[in-house]
Amino acid sequence: MMIQVRVASRATVAQDIVRLDLVALDGAPLPPFTAGAHIDLMLPNGLVRQYSLSNDPARREHYRVAVLRDPASRGGSAVVHEALGEGATLTIGPPRNLFALDEDGDDFVLLAGGVGITPILSMAHRLAALGKPFALHYCARDAARAAFLDEAGALFPAQLQRHFDAAPETRLDLDQALANPSSRRHLYVCGPRGFMDFVVAGARARGWTEAQIHQESFAAASLEAGAQPFSLRIASTGQLIAVGPDQTAAQALEAAGVFVPLSCEQGVCGTCLTPVLEGQPDHRDLFQTDEEKAANTQFTPCCSRARSPVLVLDL
């Protein structure tokens, strides 16, 4: 169910980061969400982009997102910064959660890098409401690039630890942050890919198990070296299209003149979801549920591949 919203408030909250507060056009409370959830924004240029919700899950009068302007933007963050001013209306998808908080844990370590603070801040709200102990480590190049830093400090003064690359004395110390990886502790990390890889590798090296480590990702599995080629058969015409090891199924379809709608190209939004009649997909998307993937009746050609030599598509 799509939701019509209006940008009720917009502000610059850090260098190259804007905050949007979205309210329902009809003034009704927005659908409930859980800490770590995100929404899809249907942008004016036709793209769909995913942004985490940063506000307290107990508050439903608005959704709050923060968007970093990416210098390599393909039209997503640039449109948010240039076209979504106060009063703008747009369509969003209902909240979905690929980064859910395990509320049964006894203790939590929250690690945010840059704009990765958005879902982490929502988690901090929830943990505080539950009375659960947690530490909030916020890492950024400097304070000017740290969105919601003052808000986090005011709300969680005892839990917040600031780490700035520009100040060597405050840089993140993984030995300190990730000490005592007891089985009832959980680590949540969100930020740039390199930052998350660094933290996750450090956690593993210090004895944290995979079940304790949780990371946010809006990127599906990328093409790996030595990926196996496969073919796509178009059911309506019998056309056979080869997909090479260095291209996606969507790229192969486009090159053969077969149209499939694309948006995020990360396996998150589901825009390109395509019915499969025969064959076994190698699912790499973040959109389908485990049950939907097990059914093997559809796949996302933007990122997924095939385990069988041929996939027959209902196109």
pLDDT band at 73; cut points 50, 70, 90: low
Tell me, what's the pLDDT at 263? 76
CA gap 159, 292 in Å, rounded: 39
pLDDT (tens digit per residue) in 22-59: 999 999 999 999 999 999 999 998 888 889 999 999 99
pLDDT score at 295? 94
pLDDT confidence of residue 16: 94
Contact 65, 92 (CB under 8 A): no
The topology under which CATH files domain 107-215 is: Rossmann fold (3.40.50)
184 near 106, Cβ under 8 Å? yes
Asked if pLDDT for residue 225 goes beyond 70, the answer is no
Q: What is the mean pLDDT of residues 212-239?
A: 80
72 contact partners, CB below 8 Å, separation of at least 6: none
Give the pLDDT confidence score for residue 60 in this predicted structure.
Answer: 94
Distances (CA, A) of 192 to 90, 115, 218, 272: 27, 8, 10, 25
- Return the structure tokens found at 106: 């006894």
Among all chains, which residue has been given the structure tokens 């945010």? Answer: 112
DSSP structure string for 262-297: -SSSSSSS-TT-EEEEES-EE---SSS-HHHHHHTS
Residue 259: the pLDDT is 92
The pLDDT > 90 percentage for the chain reads 80
What CA–CA distances, in Å, run from 218 to 26, 150, 221? 30, 26, 10
Statement: residue 221 has pLDDT above 60: no
Q: What is the pLDDT of residue 116?
A: 94
Angle CA 90–118–195, to nearest 5: 125
Cut 0.75: pTM above it: yes
Interval 169-209: pLDDT, tens:
899 999 999 998 999 999 999 998 889 999 999 999 999 99
Shortest CA distance to 252 belongs to which of 296, 308, 309, 305? 305
List of E strands, the chain: 3-14, 17-24, 38-42, 48-52, 63-68, 89-92, 107-113, 134-140, 160-164, 185-190, 213-215, 230-234, 240-243, 274-278, 281-282, 298-299, 305-306, 310-313
pLDDT of 143 higher than 80:
yes
Share of the chain above pLDDT 70, in %: 96
CA–CA distance, 315 with 312 (Å, rounded to integer): 9
| 112: three-class secondary structure by DSSP | strand
Residue 222 has pLDDT above 60, yes or no: no
Kindly report the average pLDDT of the chain as a whole number.
92
The residue ranges of every structural domain in the chain are: 3-92, 107-215, 230-313
Q: Taking residues 243-250, what's their average pLDDT?
A: 92
The topology under which CATH files domain 230-313 is: Ubiquitin-like (UB roll) (3.10.20)
Q: Which superfamily, per CATH, for 3-92?
A: Translation factors (2.40.30.10)
pLDDT computed for residue 76 by the predictor: 83
